[in-house]
Amino acid sequence: MVHTPGKNTKTESLAAVPASKKGLILLDNPRFYILATAVTLSVLIPSWLRLTVPSDQLFAIRVEQVFGYTCLVCWYVALIASPLQKQLGGRFGTNYLVFCRRAIGVSGAYFALLHVLISLFGQIDGLSGLALLPPKFLWSIGLGTLALFILLAMAATSFNKVIAFMTYPRWKMLHRLGYIGGLAVLLHIWMIGTHLSYLSFRSVIFVFLTLLFRLESVRIADNLAKKYPKLQGKQMTVSVGLWIVATLLLLMLPWFFGSTTNHHVTGNGV
């Protein structure tokens, strides 16, 4: 989703992908296939769940869960693509991944919107049902809504003409909100996500997030060293420090926000 126009993004230009993928024809663009796959999955997933889940209530819960976690995967890949490409120097297909991440980010926004719509109208009976929810759920829904708006704004500005109209500095400032949105999503799923009650699931999320934190801490440390000459040669120390702080904050989530709940939201409340 994140894209830097002009000279600011050599790695995401068409030169960064195989020659066979440089065509301007729609069917030659790998981003088209990513978006088409997202739309196809949005039809196949509920179709398959409808055949395997007999209860209408449970069906709505499972569909919104799968769409929500699919959004998380897309968002994570879009966020990690650039720092991963930088660390690997474009090897192992990371240049290709950076080129495709705009479509991956747009797909994440699409699944986030489906997740919200199904949760709102399939589980809590629309806006009127919000009044029946306890404060913890309302806070979580508010954070999820904030993340959705950020994702939709980023998706709407993931086009070359829009980027040129906004100018790169403003566009870059907007897309920095992706990290704030990621934090909002993390808090959202922690406060009411039922799967986080399982240690194995929390462990997988912890590993992937600490990897992202590590890659981002290296990039931030390098940028700080360019801006502040006194930090030259100290990038490793700075990056490790940032990584430790971010990891500790992640570990303190249960202390800040309490344990996860095992309750689902239904049309009659919680």
The reported pTM is 0.79
The pLDDT value given to residue 22:
45
The pLDDT value given to residue 189:
81
The pLDDT value given to residue 45:
94
Task: Determine the angle formed by the axes of helices 56-88 and 177-192, rounding to 10 degrees.
Answer: 140
Per-residue pLDDT of the chain (270 residues; tens, 9 = 90+): 444 444 444 334 443 444 444 445 677 788 899 999 999 999 999 999 999 988 888 898 899 989 999 999 998 999 898 889 888 888 888 898 988 888 999 999 999 999 999 988 877 877 777 878 888 888 888 898 999 999 998 888 888 888 888 887 888 888 788 888 888 888 888 777 666 667 787 788 889 999 999 998 998 898 888 888 888 888 899 999 999 998 998 888 767 665 544 444 444 444
The pLDDT value given to residue 34:
93
- Is residue 267 within 8 A of residue 124, CB to CB? The reply is yes
The pLDDT value given to residue 117:
92
Supply the DSSP symbol for 232: T
The pLDDT value given to residue 243:
92
The pLDDT value given to residue 115:
93
Q: Number of C-alpha atoms within 13 angstroms, CB side, residue 9?
A: 21
User: From CA 22, how far away is CA 15, in angstroms rounded?
Assistant: 8
Q: Which residues pair with 266 in a beta bridge?
A: 269
- Is residue 42 within 8 A of residue 63, CB to CB? The reply is no
Tell me the helix, strand and coil percentages in the chain, rounded to 5.
80, 0, 20
Sign, CA torsion 48/50/52/57: positive
Q: Which residue has the tokens 């100018």?
A: 167
